[in-house]
Structure 1
């Protein structure tokens, strides 16, 4: 049994299924599978029913696909990436069915009929945003510096042709002429990734908050704590990803020694576990954080969050609102932010994230 195949066909699908199973617990009570619902309907039977069905479907399909992946690994059936893709497809199907059922109940029963809808924001986030947690960026910076030092020391002894790609067993199968661009590509990737995550973290701390008009002070405090925790998790993820790139660089600079793909990927997988753990403890927008003194006694304004489902498309994953100047908005399912496709700068940001690696990598490795 090949360890790389086992990672691709068993471990990754198991992680994907586990994260998908947890997703409904990460959003607040007024969001059910990406559907905006008023607080008085948060305990509607259809929501609990669909949550249970979703989790059963995810668990069942995940278990079946893990068994299939295990068999593929045993017989060494070459289908790299197929089982993870099937896992994602199964989870999305379960999510779509739950979302459709809740949306139908919401329309049929008129959940927003006669309710006062409102929007509230924390203007202090613009004038007095949370401080950037620079201390948590130090580990990623140290990993970049350490990789650079190792590369400088190793460069004179590198062969004329250095490996630029490894197969599933960890053996180099593609080489390029030694140059600063090819030999130090992992370092450039580290720096680029770290700068990118720093920029996204800075933007996330200034993203528009999704506050509860019923208890604005409570939700504003929760959101601030949420934004800081998510910023810390992103910076930690940058450090773990840089460690994976360091492991890849070590394999490149010591091509005569086989490095297991599992060891290369282990740091970034550990980073994802840390991010998920922080997300589970925090919840989207701070929905799972414990209340501070005085928050539980805040008097409700009697308003509910605005029904904005019409701006969310493709199963509630894509936000398009040209009247909203926000660049980033909170996701409807899971934890984190997504781009406002109604803002041209949001589209530019997304294109930059996608195209920059595509254009830069060939220049460095040719």
Structure 2
């Protein structure tokens, strides 16, 4: 399975384009392992099994044992992974492309799409990890489900996303160099304004909201180089950190 991107048809095959599927593969493997454990434990489960856990990590809802109630978390996890994988496949076709873009810029666009697909796979793996945690707690007698994995995953999502896009941009530049492609002066200046290829950072630009980067969809994004934009970004991080900390402090 590969990502569909019309701009890729004009370029030679690029090494490493299938790496985004590693996260999706890991998620499916985790689901499969949990399904095997559940199949072995199913006969010995009580007639009533936990189906929901509260914020304190303790089960607060129970239902009669059935294939649906026991394996529902895995069904949900599988549906999420399949949906995200589908989006990753069609992502290139969904985002508008510039038919007049240079080959160097086209590779940069492919790199950003590749990073987005990897992020989708990472999110899918994270969701599967959480539902697997609940599933395993359920088949082991409804023991408490700790909230710290969710808290840690939430805290790491933003830095991991930035890392994935930074690695994607680096991958794109390396593939372009292999093909002997270099950016024009204007392309190099524009590229330097984007941290990890996705965060716009231009202190000289008076705009707080700027158009999304070409090839990355429509809409606007924040200029983190602007004082107000920086405050908005910091405020978002503070709010998310407070949310994660509150989850981590909930006793389980």
Q: Secondary structure at the match of 1:333?
A: strand
Q: Secondary structure at the match of 2:220?
A: coil
Q: Aligned pair 1:333/2:216, yes or no?
A: no
Q: Aligned pair 1:233/2:233, yes or no?
A: no
Query: 1:241-294, CA deviations, whole angstroms, 9 ceiling, x for partnerless residues?
Result: 211111111222234532322235544654554223213555xxx599658445
- Are residues 251 and 276 of structure 1, via their aligned partners in 2, closer, same or farther at CA, if it must alter by over 3 Å? farther
Checking the alignment, whether the CA contact within 8 Å between 1:170 and 1:260 is kept in structure 2 is yes
Give the equivalent residue in structure 2 for 1:216.
Answer: 102
Q: CA deviation at 1:226?
A: 1.7
Q: Secondary structure at the match of 1:175?
A: strand
Checking the alignment, whether the CA contact within 8 Å between 2:47 and 2:65 is kept in structure 1 is yes
TM-align CA RMSD: 3.9
Distance 2:172 2:103 in 1: 14
Q: CA deviation at 1:137?
A: 2.8
- Are residues 297 and 220 of structure 1, via their aligned partners in 2, closer, same or farther at CA, if it must alter by over 3 Å? closer
Checking the alignment, whether the CA contact within 8 Å between 1:205 and 1:227 is kept in structure 2 is yes
Give the equivalent residue in structure 2 for 1:139.
Answer: 26
Distance 2:80 2:71 in 1: 14
TM-score computed with the length of structure 2 as normaliser: 0.59
Distance 1:138 1:289 in 2: 23
- Are residues 268 and 200 of structure 1, via their aligned partners in 2, closer, same or farther at CA, if it must alter by over 3 Å? farther
What 5-or-longer segments of structure 2 have no aligned partner? 188-208, 223-252
TM-score computed with the length of structure 1 as normaliser: 0.43
Give the equivalent residue in structure 2 for 1:161.
Answer: 48
- Are residues 195 and 202 of structure 1, via their aligned partners in 2, closer, same or farther at CA, if it must alter by over 3 Å? same
Checking the alignment, whether the CA contact within 8 Å between 2:108 and 2:172 is kept in structure 1 is yes
Query: 1:177-223, CA deviations, whole angstroms, 9 ceiling, x for partnerless residues?
Result: 1111111011101110110111010011333344495x623211211
Query: 1:313-357, CA deviations, whole angstroms, 9 ceiling, x for partnerless residues?
Result: xx899xxxxxxxxxx9355327xxxxxxxxxxxxxxxxxxxxxxx
Describe how 1:1-366 pairs up with structure 2 within 5 A: 124-125=7-8, 133=19, 134-211=21-98, 216-267=102-153, 269-271=155-157, 273-280=159-166, 282=168, 290=173, 292-293=176-177, 295-296=181-182, 298=184, 329-330=217-218, 332-333=220-221
- Are residues 147 and 269 of structure 1, via their aligned partners in 2, closer, same or farther at CA, if it must alter by over 3 Å? farther
Work out which of the two has the higher radius of gyration on C-alpha atoms and give 1 or 2.
1
Query: 1:107-133, CA deviations, whole angstroms, 9 ceiling, x for partnerless residues?
Result: xxxxxxxxxxxxxxx954367797654
Checking the alignment, whether the CA contact within 8 Å between 1:243 and 1:267 is kept in structure 2 is no
Q: Secondary structure at the match of 1:206?
A: helix
Q: How many residues were matched structurally?
A: 189
Off by >6 Å, runs of 4+ in structure 1: 127-130
Checking the alignment, whether the CA contact within 8 Å between 2:23 and 2:122 is kept in structure 1 is yes
